[in-house]
Amino acid sequence: MVESPLGKRVNVLDKGWIELVDLMPHPESKVSGDLAIVNAARVSFLGESKGPDRDKRLLFYLLRHRHTSPFEMVEFKFRVRAPLVTWWQWVRHRTWNMNAQSGRYTPFKEEDFYVPDVWRKQSADNKQASEGTLEASESLELTDKLLRHYDEGYRLYEEALERGVSKEMARLFLPGFSVYYTWVTKIDAHNLMHFLRLRMASDAQYEIRVYAKAINEHFFAPALPWTAEAFRKHVLNQAE
User: Are residues 30 and 88 part of one domain?
Assistant: yes
How confident is the model over 56-94, as pLDDT tens digits? 999 999 999 999 999 999 999 999 999 999 999 999 999
94 part of a folded domain: yes
Q: Which are the catalytic amino acids?
A: 199
User: Are residues 188 and 174 part of one domain?
Assistant: no
Helices and strands, number each (H, E), in the chain = 9, 7
> Which residues are CB-neighbours of 134 under 8 A, at least 6 positions away?
118, 119, 120, 121, 142
1 part of a folded domain: no
Confidence tier at 128 by pLDDT (50, 70, 90)? confident
16 part of a folded domain: yes
47 or 175, which is more confident: 175
Number of domains comprising the chain: 2
User: Are residues 83 and 14 part of one domain?
Assistant: yes
22 part of a folded domain: yes
Domain boundary among 133, 148, 178: 178
Model pTM above 0.85: yes
How confident is the model over 138-150, as pLDDT tens digits? 999 999 999 999 9
239 or 24, which is more confident: 24
User: Are residues 94 and 15 part of one domain?
Assistant: yes
